[in-house]
Amino acid sequence: MKIIMLAILPLSIFAGSFNAPMQAYIDGLKMEAKKADSSFVDFDIVRGEKIFTSSHGGKRGEKISCTSCHMVNLRLKGKHIYTNKIIEPLAPSVNSATLTVIKDVKKWLRRNFNDVYVREGTALEQGDVLYYINSK
């Protein structure tokens, strides 16, 4: 029983780590995900990591992933592969501005899903990626 509680504890701490507006946005994504799939329970960090790190034929036809610009270690600065613009770390543990402004998060998700996947991300995919990033 102690092992189960220790395994659940980090998830419960994580679940409350978004600011209030972001939590409301996450809750909206959860409602969308539940509409799309009635068996949906919650977003998943492991699925989010897979989405973030897997390579796809991006909008320019070359294999890219989110890590092509944002790095595998989200605590480090990244660099845009086409513009060479420096990108601040995504990890909230080192960049307190990450995942705080909904307008910016929506823009970032829309733009980057279109760059990598050549489509908008589903509510499930977006929530999974946000949980993954927020875990760093």
pLDDT in tens, 71-105: 999 999 999 999 999 999 999 999 999 999 999 99
When pLDDT is cut at 50, 70 and 90, the band that residue 17 belongs to is confident
Q: Tokens in use for 11?
A: 């998830």
CATH superfamily of the 2-134 domain: Cytochrome c-like domain (1.10.760.10)
**Separation CA 9–CA 26 (nearest Å):** 20
Number of helices (H) and strands (E) in the chain: give both, helices first. Answer: 6, 4
**What is the reported pLDDT for 61?**
87
Give the dihedral sign, CA 115/117/121/124.
Answer: negative
**What is the reported pLDDT for 121?**
98
User: Region 51-76: what's the mean pLDDT?
Assistant: 94
- What is the residue extent of each domain of the chain? 2-134
Distances (CA, A) of 45 to 4, 85, 128: 18, 27, 6
User: Region 42-69: what's the mean pLDDT?
Assistant: 95
Task: Please count the residues of the chain.
Answer: 136
- Identify the CA nearest to 113 among candidates 55, 66, 54, 46: 66
21 vs 3, residue with greater confidence: 21
**Separation CA 133–CA 136 (nearest Å):** 6
Residue 22 reports pLDDT greater than 80: yes
**Separation CA 41–CA 26 (nearest Å):** 13
Q: What are the phi and psi torsion angles at 117 (to 5°)? A: -100, -10
User: Region 33-43: what's the mean pLDDT?
Assistant: 98
**What is the reported pLDDT for 15?**
43
